[in-house]
Chain A
């Protein structure tokens, strides 16, 4: 009720609720007996369509008790649970506390299982089919949206099934990627290199992975590469996992491997983000996920 700026609305709701319940009780009492003219005592006195009367067929008494039970129930509910304005109820129930309770129950049930796996080394987990099965479920629920359910990735989202790792493929590096997230930024070089420069650089990059390229442009591009790209991608174009700079010599293309796509990458730059999952999943689950992800490229 904090969105209400004055206490008036609390009072308003409280009064309307209580008066309504009271009115139900009054109606029940008033309608349980009725006074009718003696001569017509067998009918309820209701008449429809001029002459259609209704016999009084009294309902069983327990039926009336059902109504009273609902009234008592609603009053008890309003005492125990929040319902009357800003009154929080005797049990202080909130949606958040219920979520916390359920989470705690869940942790209690599955915590020991995760705890056991958390004690194990990632390498050891690779030999545990059950751990990997849990890892796969976690992956399908949390990762497949971007990396696809077969972990094959999509444009802009790396495949996790090859042995090519942007940020390193050690268990620790994978765990850090999941827990802390990653931000891979390729700055736009279009303004610096100019259109021809971008094309030259692109052809050099294409030559690195053995794709057909214009040899004159390759030669010019090599000079540009040595000046602008080498800092991140390295002298041999093998990339640098410390900053997520991709290896340009394999045939894995995060944003497409055609000339036009490579040129676009160089000219306009790229910015890819892997969100941090530490708070969402917790250490133990991330540990299992890391094992599962690692298992994908070991097949």
Chain B
């Protein structure tokens, strides 16, 4: 771009340009091993969990139509939204903590974008060969052979993507029924849409978009840098050891083999320092370590290190000790408090919920004998997996009596709404107009621990 000698000359600059496909070279080593371990761990859970039976039903199923969310023995109703909130808070705090300690750990090892790209790259390498072969194939003219290779690759990709979409939908509609429906071509319109949409997103993001998702689309990638400080472990090239690059006497340890660039999934040169594109996958560390091993230099020319460690030449032990700094301790403390609170709350959870809905129009009415009556509807939600009979009682005012069903049967993991009349057995003139607090008590027969008290008001006018 630069035109020498004529600084006044005007050049045209493109603000959009055609993306150059990155063909990362396959890499093996300690960190790649960790990434593959996480690929296996996350995907065995994702693909497998949907098929796991539990008490003659699917262990994990989010039934949106029935508004019933089952996670093993736990049955959640929409009223339990707080647990989703807590889960999101825990996820956010974990991200903060991991990022403060060791940079974009999530991005490099566990993010679905990374995990599926890894799987798709593996397929690509099996079919088209390694980096050089793929670059040559891309540059070659279209022949039957090339077409066959490309078709095979995309065929496998699409199969994986569709299976992923199918599994995803299998968490929202029973997966075994969905499987039968697929073979009968009898999936519902929304099931079909989501299988295809989620499959398309997997295929597009892991096959075509790849590093562009991280570079241009992902918001977490942008704000994670706000969690970095000078003691955050980042993937660093040690220029003190490496420079000047090259082979021979007087040169540093960097032999300028460019392996670190070839293995980078985002196409950067880590030797230029920390860059926003770096997803922290440590592929360059694995690549460089192999070269160092071959040329006989110590490993770790590129390594997890911190800015402080580089500047002040800290030992590994001192660098790791600095991980226990206020930012990290505060994140950990909050995280543990939230996790413990959520755990205690889940442990003490009563598998019964009651909503009291007061009749809004018929505020208060007089019945025979001049007594005052209020009407309520109790929504009783049984979140156990057995049929329960509940006893209803009301308290809060003297001479308050329940008229209506005092015992209600509710089926397993379902809810029932019963209208309940509450009558005040007192002379009209002894009760002033006003709003009186009352409490309903609902208790499962033979299960006294399954009891809920719910507040409401009794109105007299």
Contact = CB atoms under 8 A, between A and B. Distances in A.
Contacts of B1: 41-42
**Main SS of chain B's interface residues?**
mixed
Contacts of A32: 14-16
Interface residues of B, number: 37
A31 interface: yes
A148 B362 contact: yes
Contact of A35 (B2, B3, B13, B360): B13
B212 interface: yes
A147 B370 CA distance: 19
B11 interface: yes
Contact of B11 (A41, A60, A64, A155): A41
A145 B363 CA distance: 10
A36 B11 contact: yes
A280 interface: no
Interface string B119-150: 00000000000000000000000000000000
Given A35-B10, A37-B9, A148 B19 contact: no
B343 interface: no
A149 B419 contact: yes
A154 B361 contact: yes
A152 B19 contact: no
A243 B366 CA distance: 25
Contact of A150 (B364, B366, B421): B421
B215 to A, nearest CB: 9
B366 A56 contact: no
Interface stretch (A18-26, A250-258, A285-293): A250-258
Contact of B361 (A35, A146, A258): A146
A59 interface: yes
Contacts of A149: 359, 362, 375, 377, 419
A44 B12 CA distance: 11
A257 B371 CA distance: 11
Interface in B1-51: 1-3, 6-19
Interface in A63-112: 63-64
Interface string B390-428: 000000000000001000000000000001010000001
Contact of B16 (A38, A42, A58, A257): A58
A39 B2 contact: yes
Contact of A60 (B8, B13, B19, B367): B19
Given A35-B11, A144-B359, A150 B419 contact: yes
Interface in A237-294: 251, 253, 256-258
A145 B216 contact: no
A41 B1 CA distance: 6
Nearest to A58: B17
A150 B423 CA distance: 14
Q: Which of B2, B6, B8, B11 has the most CB of A within 10 A?
A: B11
Contacts of A41: 1-3, 11, 13
B368 interface: yes
B7 A37 contact: yes
Given A37-B10, A145-B361, A60 B18 contact: yes
A157 B362 CA distance: 9
B18 A61 contact: yes
B373 interface: yes
A153 interface: yes
B67 interface: no
Given A60-B17, A61-B18, A148-B359, A153 B365 contact: yes
Contact of A154 (B8, B212, B363, B377): B363
A32 B368 CA distance: 82
A152 B19 CA distance: 71
Given A38-B6, A39-B7, A56 B13 contact: yes
A144 B10 contact: no
Q: Which of A59, A153, A157 has the most CB of B within 10 A?
A: A59
A38 B2 CA distance: 6
A136 to B, nearest CB: 10
A33 B12 CA distance: 7
B368 A251 contact: yes
Nearest to B8: A37
Given A33-B14, A42-B2, A60 B366 contact: no
A154 B216 CA distance: 62
Given A144-B359, A144-B361, A34 B10 contact: no
A185 to B, nearest CB: 22
Nearest to A45: B13
A165 to B, nearest CB: 17
A152 B14 contact: no
Nearest to A39: B7
Q: Which of A35, A38, A56, A146 has the most CB of B within 10 A?
A: A38
Q: Which of B14, B15, B362 has the most CB of A within 10 A?
A: B362
A35 B13 CA distance: 6
A144 B421 CA distance: 14
A258 B428 CA distance: 10
B201 to A, nearest CB: 16
26 contacts: A32-B15, A33-B12, A34-B12, A34-B13, A35-B12, A36-B10, A38-B3, A38-B7, A38-B9, A42-B1, A42-B2, A44-B15, A56-B15, A58-B17, A59-B16, A64-B16, A144-B361, A148-B359, A148-B361, A149-B359, A149-B375, A150-B359, A152-B362, A154-B361, A155-B366, A257-B370
Given A32-B15, A38-B6, 15 more contacts: A31-B15, A33-B15, A34-B13, A37-B8, A58-B17, A60-B18, A61-B19, A146-B361, A148-B362, A150-B375, A152-B362, A152-B367, A153-B365, A154-B363, A157-B362
